Amino acid sequence: MTTLQLKNIVKRYKSQTVLDDLSLDVAGGERLVLFGPSGSGKTVLLRLIAGVIEPDAGRVLIGGEDMTDVDAEHRGIGMAFQNFALFPHMSAFDNIASALTSRKSSKDTIAAGVHKVSKLLKIDHVLSHHPKALSNGQKQRTALARALVGSPPLLLLDDPLRNVDAKLRFEMRLELPRLLAAQGATVIYVTQDYKEAMALGDRIAVMAHGRIRQIGTPAEIYNAPADIEIARLFGDPTINLLEVVPQRGPDGAFVELSDMRLRLPGFGAEIVGKQCVLGLRPETIAFAEAASQGAIPVTVEAETPLNEKTVTLGLTARGREILVSRPAGTPGPVAGPAHIAVDGRTAFLFDKATGRRILPSELASKRNGEAA
Amino acid sequence: METTSPVERLLRGVALTLVVVFFMFPIVWIFLMSFQTNETILRIPPSVVFSPTLENYAALITGKLQTASGTLDIAFMRNLGNSVLLSVASVAVALLLGVPAAYAFARHKFKGSEDIAFTLLSFRFAPPLLVLLPLTQYFQWLGLSNTYFGLIWIYQLICLPLILWIVRGYFEDISADVEYAYRIAGHSWFSTFRKIALPLAGPGIAAAGLLAFIFAWNNFVFALVLASADKQPVTVGALAFVTASGIQYGQIAAAIVLSITPTLALALYAQRYLVEGLSLGAVKG
Amino acid sequence: MNATALSIENVDKFYGPVDHGVHAVKQLNMDVMKGEIIALLGSSGCGKTSTLRMIAGFEPVSRGTISVAGRQVQTLAPVRRNVAMAFEGYSLYPPLTVRENIAFALKAAKLSQNVVEEKVASIAKLLEIEDILGRYPSSISGGQQQRASLGRALIREADLHLLDEPMGQLEPQLRAVLRGRIKHYIKERGLTAILVTHDQTEANALADRIAVMEGGVLQQFDTPQMIKERPANLFTGTFVGEPPMNVFEASVSGTEGRVAFGLEDGIRLEYPAADFSHAVRDALMKRKNVVLGIRPYSVRRSADGVTGRVAVNQWLGDQTHIAADFAGGTMVLVEHDRTNLEIGQPIGIRLDPGSLHVFDSESGMAISHGEELA
């Protein structure tokens, strides 16, 4: 099991800093997803690990060995590219075999290796085709086969499902974990799709502006986002973000929604009067009876069915938009006035000025204690 | 693609025919001239009806130019041979030097690389007359004047910048990812250059080579000044047809036909290859 | 509201000579009522964009008629059809600012300056482009250009609003918000909109009715709910729905009071005959081989179900996708909670007869949905 360590990597293009003192530790056999919006530096980072781009500063260690100055062909890496990067003048067979021909293996060994991996990826019937004659899905599988065929201990997958249609993407999302587990390789997987990130990653590193903003398991990222931006990037529909100023109530802090009080359990005086942003995941909001405790009145503007769930757009009394999602087929209002129930314990609170999440006081003090 | 009516198709056909006639007429006319004697050519009014003769070609091949005032020796076949030798060798040298250089300029940006590339291109801008005088002097000192080696060297002024700039563009069009993929698969940069970059830029290299060949073939000034009779290409040799006793139109026409044949043949042959190569599809495919 | 806004009758589109060129749209018939939002949904090359371009007038109609608000328009120039269009790509006038681009669409209406400003401001707020109104198209991002183009189309009064992949370039978070707002805007003004998209989420979210196209043929034209619950054929069934419908080939057999489906690996699904209507039973008995389909969120786990083995368990925040090895294939289940299942763990899978879609194995046409005949 090969480990990967990046130490204080810096990469600049002209005056622009693309990677800014970035460090990362990946355990052997781990599947790490690099997630972030375009331009966050994920692709550059992947190429840097592969050795086709050199860092301006910092070290790349693969399996504990310093590979910073080692050429790409000697790093023992497999890589699949977003645009497939197939060799257009070679057949699918030769494309896949290219990762074996450099090793001076015998023709039979190469053929056996290619056939094994192409059978696994269900492309053994198109091996004689040139890339031009392959469908998008077949191209994608050929590119994947080329990355896998040499059983490299470190696999770099650069958004490999980006350019295939939704159905194929879903099928590959189910298939990939099995395929990768069978390889036993350490995997760095780049994607812009949060579902892919959550489905495939043992851990997710969220990147922005050349830095890693948060790294953790899918549950940690989803349930404890470090800042507004990360909360916004995970979840469909997007998390509701409402500007609020918490006030002091008889039983702790609260915020006002449609002039009703929403209690924020666990938060104390430190947030009172502070400019904050309240984050409410659409699936944590439920429709409620008007009479029920703490029900917040809204006006339903539109209802949009999204496959397995139904999303409702509501307006608060002050005209703020709130998205509510519920499993499809469950009852809910279609238009006009309605009430929603929000559990303050599932709400996130962010500092409006910095965008960082404010932890509930008891959690915060626990963290501080640990730090000390 | 549009749906077309018969009228549209007819008009399109007529327009195409007009264009073809416009461009092909001089070539056809010269071709016809090459089978006529000076007398029939200079008839007034001109006529397309004549009895064809091969004497122009015979004169060129035997090297005996028939004029009104007797027979003159000309070295046309030798000129033709010189043209072939000079052009082929120049393009070969230019490809050998230019293609790796183009790859380097396309893939490895370093400080000043753009300036060097531009300086090389600027050799194309300079009027040849400007450099001819000093060149003649240098060549005489170096003992290079009137040698094939010297001519091929000076022809690089024509061929090298052309190949460098055209081929560089083709290399730049190849997605870097495709080359990265081959490197990561375990191949050295040189084998990546040979197995990926060269084949993918193949059509571009062929196009550049063809263009360079035509430019080299058509060159007149360098050869006029730097080569004496036995090293001269056809462009210079053709001057011999302007004799004291008149201009030998029929033989000039035959000479033109013979001298455009190699370029034409090469272009037709390369065209097939170019189309095939270009239709390999974009790298992303 | 009951007037027909758009009527497409027997329309064919050939690229190249009629009857010999590429047949991009085949015998298309479609009626759109005033005030409806319609989505043309399909993968690239299915004919949806050709259809939209024929309605707009950018592509000649090879055969058939297109009527907008009751008048035939297939021979009219685009400007004379009274349709507004938002383009997928870059279609803004470069020398005009975003504000001028949007306001340009109102020129013909001869409104007062104040009214124009007010309208532009409100649509800009809706599309979140207020801060770039003074900028020129060349200095804004692709997503912003797309929103400006959308604004220019939506602000116009027209018999028909055509939207070609209107949100393709926007980031997913913004897309989700805009969907709701745009739907509200269109509905509030009673506009009729035709939307072309390859994104079924968008089609489902925006459209009153979806026209599913494939290979130039209209496969089904119905409400999102009907398409989901009663797909006309195997194509629509597996194309629409995320995650895609689970499908298994099966042989039908019927005994006293039972209907049985034989799947691979010797798996038999038996149901009391009463679970299906007479007509369905008759239709099933006429066939030997069928294709069974069931939506991932209709598959239930239950101890007395057929055993499958968990192959993948992916938690996505608000739902869990489970894939189980089942009958020689993969059965996908969607659950709304976080489920902790181990890989390789056996689970009982129950397929309620009410959620089963049965398709003819040769023609792919739907035979039954639940207990009802298709």
Determine the distance in angstroms separating the CA of B207 from the nearest CA of chain A, rounded to an integer: 18
What pLDDT does B246 receive? 72
Residue-wise pLDDT for C96-106, tens only, equals 999 999 998 88
Among C43, C125, C171, C173, the strongest candidate for a mutation testing the A interface, having the largest count of A CBs within 10 A, is: C173
- Cβ–Cβ gap B1/C62 under 8 Å: no
| Mean predicted confidence (pLDDT) in B12-26 | 92
Query: Is C315 part of the contact surface with chain A (CB cutoff 8 Å)?
Result: yes
Chosen domain end from C209, C232, C255 = C232
Tell me which chain B residue has its CA closest to the CA of residue A157. Answer: B181
Tokens, residue C303: 């101890």
**Residue A104: C-alpha distances to residues A71, A96, A100, B187 (Å):** 18, 15, 7, 11
Q: Is residue C238 part of a domain?
A: no
Least confident of A173-177, A366-370, C294-298: A366-370
| Residue A288 to residue A290: CA distance in whole angstroms | 6
Give the total number of structural domains in chain C. Answer: 2
**More confident site: B244 or A84:** A84
Instruction: Indicate the average pLDDT of chain B.
Output: 84
Examine the domain organization and report whether C178 and C279 are in the same domain: no
Q: Could you list the residue range(s) of the whole structural domain that residue A78 is in?
A: 4-226
Examine the domain organization and report whether C293 and C190 are in the same domain: no
Q: Which of the four pLDDT bands, split at 50, 70 and 90, describes residue C1?
A: very low
Examine the domain organization and report whether A219 and A290 are in the same domain: no
Chosen domain end from C182, C210, C232 = C232
CATH number of the domain bearing residue C281: 2.40.50.140
Beta-carbon contacts of residue A106 (< 8 Å; ≥ 6 apart): none
Q: Could you list the residue range(s) of the whole structural domain that residue C35 is in?
A: 4-232
Chosen domain end from C183, C206, C232 = C232
Instruction: Indicate the average pLDDT of chain A.
Output: 90
Chain B, 2 to 21: residues with Cβ < 8 Å from chain C are 2-4
Examine the domain organization and report whether A215 and A247 are in the same domain: no
| Residue C106 to residue C127: CA distance in whole angstroms | 18
Examine the domain organization and report whether A97 and A148 are in the same domain: yes
Chosen domain end from A173, A191, A226 = A226
Q: Is residue C240 part of a domain?
A: no
Query: Is C241 part of the contact surface with chain A (CB cutoff 8 Å)?
Result: yes
Examine the domain organization and report whether C210 and C85 are in the same domain: yes
Give the total number of structural domains in chain A. Answer: 2
pLDDT score of B279 more than 60: no
- Counted across chains A and C, CB pairs separated by less than 8 A come out at 110
Tell me which chain C residue has its CA closest to the CA of residue A201. Answer: C314
Examine the domain organization and report whether A294 and A361 are in the same domain: yes
Examine the domain organization and report whether A29 and A150 are in the same domain: yes
pLDDT score of C206 more than 50: yes
What pLDDT does C43 receive? 85
Examine the domain organization and report whether A46 and A137 are in the same domain: yes
pLDDT score of B2 more than 70: no
**More confident site: B63 or C70:** C70
Q: Is the dihedral of CA C290, C291, C295, C296 positive or negative?
A: positive
Least confident of A202-216, B116-130, C107-121, C295-309: B116-130
| Residue A323 to residue A283: CA distance in whole angstroms | 9
Residue-wise pLDDT for C134-183, tens only, equals 999 988 888 889 999 999 999 999 999 999 988 887 877 788 789 889 99
Q: Rg of the Cα trace of chain C?
A: 24
Examine the domain organization and report whether C194 and C274 are in the same domain: no
Examine the domain organization and report whether A56 and A195 are in the same domain: yes
Examine the domain organization and report whether A35 and A85 are in the same domain: yes
Examine the domain organization and report whether C122 and C181 are in the same domain: yes
Examine the domain organization and report whether A198 and A220 are in the same domain: yes
pLDDT score of B236 more than 60: yes
What pLDDT does C215 receive? 93
User: Please, are residues B158 and B212 in contact by the beta-carbon 8 Å criterion?
Assistant: yes
The 3 state secondary structure assigned to A328-356 is CCCCCCCCEEEEEEECHHHCEEEECCCCE
- Cβ–Cβ gap A102/B186 under 8 Å: yes
Residue-wise pLDDT for C253-300, tens only, equals 987 789 999 999 999 999 999 999 999 999 998 888 999 999 998 999
Examine the domain organization and report whether A280 and A214 are in the same domain: no
DSSP string of C241-259, one letter each residue: SSSPPEEEEEEEEEETTEE
Examine the domain organization and report whether C85 and C30 are in the same domain: yes
Tokens, residue A29: 């056999």
Examine the domain organization and report whether C211 and C328 are in the same domain: no
Say which CATH architecture domain B76-278 belongs to: Orthogonal Bundle (1.10)
Chosen domain end from A207, A226, A245 = A226
CATH number of the domain bearing residue C160: 3.40.50.300
C315 contact residues in A (CB cutoff 8 A): 198-199, 218-219
Residue-wise pLDDT for B115-142, tens only, equals 888 888 887 777 877 888 888 888 889 9
CATH number of the domain bearing residue A127: 3.40.50.300
Q: Which of the four pLDDT bands, split at 50, 70 and 90, describes residue A362?
A: low
pLDDT score of A256 more than 80: yes
What pLDDT does C359 receive? 97
ipTM: 0.86
Tell me which chain C residue has its CA closest to the CA of residue B6. Answer: C17
Range ranked top by mean pLDDT from B35-39, C256-260, C364-368: C364-368
Examine the domain organization and report whether A250 and A343 are in the same domain: yes
| Residue B16 to residue B9: CA distance in whole angstroms | 11
CA C77 to chain centre: 29
User: What is the location of CATH 1.10.3720.10 in chain B?
Assistant: 76-278
| Residue C359 to residue C365: CA distance in whole angstroms | 5
Examine the domain organization and report whether C318 and C200 are in the same domain: no
Residue-wise pLDDT for B49-93, tens only, equals 778 888 888 888 887 776 666 777 777 888 888 999 999 999 999
CATH number of the domain bearing residue A245: 2.40.50.140
